[in-house]
Chain A
Amino acid sequence: MPLPGSAQRWAAAAGSWGCWLLALLLLLVTGPGGASEITFELPDNAKQCFYEDIAQGTKCTLEFQVITGGHYDVDCRLEDPDGKVLYKEMKKQYDSFTFTASKNGTYKFCFSNEFSTFTHKTVYFDFQVGEDPPLFPSENRVSALTQMESACVSIHEALKSVIDYQTHFRLREAQGRSRAEDLNTRVAY
């Protein structure tokens, strides 16, 4: 709705400054959260590491699944900035680990296929740091959400979990499918 001239000017100025301030705050305090979902190939006798800078107090979740290769297992290791091992599992097919960052710094997680002599593995992982960035980074979020808005938020969360289940289903199905295709070629020879 149209505002009177001076109010409009003030609103525009306040809005711009608000945006600048908020963005600056975001850059300084914590990076906006988010998720990284990556599928990569791990050659035999190889180890691959990924790093992320996390602020203290952020709740993070690491979830991984082996899609193809051998016995579908991989070693996974998660370390905090001081090198302390937060999570270490050998020959695991699928796991999910949630932790809260106790200190600022670079967290490192590695996947190792060093125990395997000739099978390449395809590994999927989903590393969620903090919450998803909000839809509206600007404006005052002090006002409570209306019923419609909170209904939208709950639908959004429910759909996110549907998409998540679909991803896991697709990965499981990919396992079965790749085995079936291997069998098909092997039977011919």
Chain B
Amino acid sequence: MAGVVGRGLPAMGRPALLLLVMCAAGAQGLYFHIGETEKRCFIEEIPDETMVIGNYRTQMWDKQKEVFLPSTPGLGMHVEVKDPDGKVVLSRQYGSEGRFTFTSHTPGEHQICLHSNSTRMALFAGGKLRVHLDIQVGEHANNYPEIAAKDKLTELQLRARQLLDQVEQIQKEQDYQRYREERFRLTSESTNQRVLWWSIAQTVILILTGIWQMRHLKSFFEAKKLV
């Protein structure tokens, strides 16, 4: 403890940070079950230059004890993130517990896919895997206590920083909305064009068919000497 003293705030901050991380790890509340070869995908529709942090933790089902083991080394999860154009942004294998981060460079729907890549497939046999997942986007991804410790901010400064981050996120979302609205407008214009061409084409075909039919009937009647 004596050695820790001379450094003031950062020394106090460090054990607190460690425990906060532990808290965060324990706090991955939401979980779901997946089968061994099953792939689960999640969609995040985000504006560009937005950071996304995902934390996951896996537990394997123990058939004998009928309970989920607290942690299983050797389990792995493959995480794949695709951007709106289908290009792969992140494709990595993580351990049984992992954290992945990516920043979007194009606005739109990003797809985060997880599937297990267990090295102990034999033990798995028909078992299931419990995956705790937590995905934080944009402003929620910021770790404020860490920022406060790093930049040495007072409480008021930290609150102001949080408000600034939130407002920035709102601005980005509004820019994204403008982009989406433009795309929607272009799609509608294109549909309008297509419908117009389609109806013109149909009318022309109808007229041509009508003319052909008249001619055909006329020659038929003339041949039968009715006209």
The number of residues on chain B lying at the interface, defined by a beta carbon within 8 Å of a beta carbon of chain A, is 60
Q: Point out the residues of chain B lying under 8 angstroms from A177, CB to CB.
A: 180, 183-184, 187
Q: Point out the residues of chain B lying under 8 angstroms from A24, CB to CB.
A: 19
A152-B190 contact given A48-B32, A51-B32, A163-B173, CB 8 Å threshold: no
Chain A interface SS verdict (over half): helix
Per-position binary interface string of chain A over residues 149-184, scored 1 when its CB falls under 8 Å from any chain B CB and 0 otherwise: 100110110011011001001100110110011011
Interface check B1, CB cutoff 8 A: yes
Q: Point out the residues of chain A lying under 8 angstroms from B191, CB to CB.
A: 180, 183-184, 187
A16-B4 contact given A52-B31, A170-B45, A187-B198, CB 8 Å threshold: yes
A149 and B156 form a contact (CB under 8 A):
yes
B30 and A163 form a contact (CB under 8 A):
no
Q: How far is the CB of B138 from chain A (nearest CB, A)?
A: 9
A40 and B43 form a contact (CB under 8 A):
yes
Per-position binary interface string of chain B over residues 94-116, scored 1 when its CB falls under 8 Å from any chain A CB and 0 otherwise: 00000000000000000000000
- A81-89, A96-104, A131-139 - the one binding chain B: A131-139
Complex: how many Å from CA A100 to CA B20? 26
Chain B interface SS verdict (over half): helix
A40-B42 contact given A12-B11, A15-B12, A27-B23, CB 8 Å threshold: yes
Q: Point out the residues of chain B lying under 8 angstroms from A153, CB to CB.
A: 159
A137-B20 contact given A160-B166, A163-B173, CB 8 Å threshold: yes
Interface positions of A (Cβ within 8 A of B): 8-9, 11-13, 15-16, 19-20, 23-24, 26-27, 31-32, 34, 36-41, 48-54, 122, 127, 129, 133, 135-138, 148-149, 152-153, 155-156, 159-160, 162-163, 166, 169-170, 173-174, 176-177, 180-181, 183-184, 187-188
